Structure 1
Amino acid sequence: MFNVDEPDDIDNEPINIKCLPSITQMPSISDQDRQRMFWMQLFLRLPLGGVGLRFPDEAACEQRFREVRWPEGIRCLKCGGVQLKTCRARKTLRCRDCGREFSLKVGTFMFRSRHSIRDWFLAAEEHMTLCAFGRDRLDTGRDMADRNGIAYTTAFRMREKLRGELRRDPSLLVSSICIEDLCPPQDVVDDEFRFLMWLLDSCASREQQTREG
């Protein structure tokens, strides 16, 4: 459902960090640069090959979301009981101790949403990718609706929820789909400008790898 158009305005020439100016000559970076750095880091932590390949169906997405939300196993949200019965027809869990019935989405930003967990996973990947490449101007509610064939009001609400959730710390959604480690060189991390250049280079390289399959 959710597909990210390939950026057509990315300079894929690698940046030679060793040829950058000395630290004393480094220009300062803007708040806008820092915002983009945030999104580039999330993008680089997305699964190699994409979220759709790593989590190919709803069952895989539900399993991953369950592992992140309840790393020690699901417990009843009311009494903490572990004796739970799956109600497949309603896609809920029912506690055998207190009778409380709840879904995987309850108490999260996805609660009462008709979209599947996989829809949210893919929409998050799309949003992170557009923002990482400075194309967030294409992530309006109208553009999101047109790209994915959904109603404008639905796309607008989804976009606003995504923006709020992806900036939370910690975020269930980020923890669910950003599974790769980010390992920049230490001398790059210690300087903000070099880190920005490293992120730009790494994102361009990742996109090139994606294009080449």
Structure 2
Amino acid sequence: MTAVLFDFSGTLFRVESTESWLRAVLSESGHPLPEPELKATADALEAAGALPGGASPVRLPQDLAEVWAVRDESAQLHRAAYTGVSRRVPLPDPRLHDALYERHMTPAAWAPYPDAAEVLRTLRERGIGVGVVSNIGWDLRPVFRAHGLDRYVDAYVLSYEHGVQKPDPRLFSVACAALGADPRQVVMVGDSKEADGGAAALGCRVHFVEHLPVADRPDALLPVLDLVG
């Protein structure tokens, strides 16, 4: 294998909990809520699927179904989809829905999995190309820089920058080309069989990890090092 492609959310990084997300925004905006109400609101936001990188909607509103299906194809669609489901949950100030969306794009909202740095560093040492292929509506590069992992990434291929989202093989093809790698000599690592599994159409080997909290998944990325030899 000459290169490894990684998904972002649920693979290399995990977003903060919905409660932490809401708590941070309420604190920064000066809109405190009584603790029981805060927790109930966080639960409602989670059920709505309002946190990008978090849980999927329990029930997607019909009027948002069309935009939700293509939300990762542009920054505008991504914001519209997630603030759209967020607005189903009452907040003390309507402007908080946009503040929540802004919060999730900050490095503080994301934590790398414990073994991410070791795996990326080892791949670099072995001369293996590394790409990040993500269905996303914003620039995640600052997250990698803030956590000291940008130095190990050779290429970022983000759906909103190409107007194509996984599992479309075209996105993986762009990543392989950016790394100068034959897809048949590439491993795609991700947490979604539906989205990340699209790389198999090009001949890539696909390796899946579970989308778990950071504390519950200390070493799931380490087997990737065995796959590349």
Tell me: higher relative CO, structure 1 or 2? Use CA pairs within 8 A at least 6 residues apart. 1
Please report the TM-score for the alignment, with normalisation by the length of structure 1.
Answer: 0.28
Please report the TM-score for the alignment, with normalisation by the length of structure 2.
Answer: 0.27
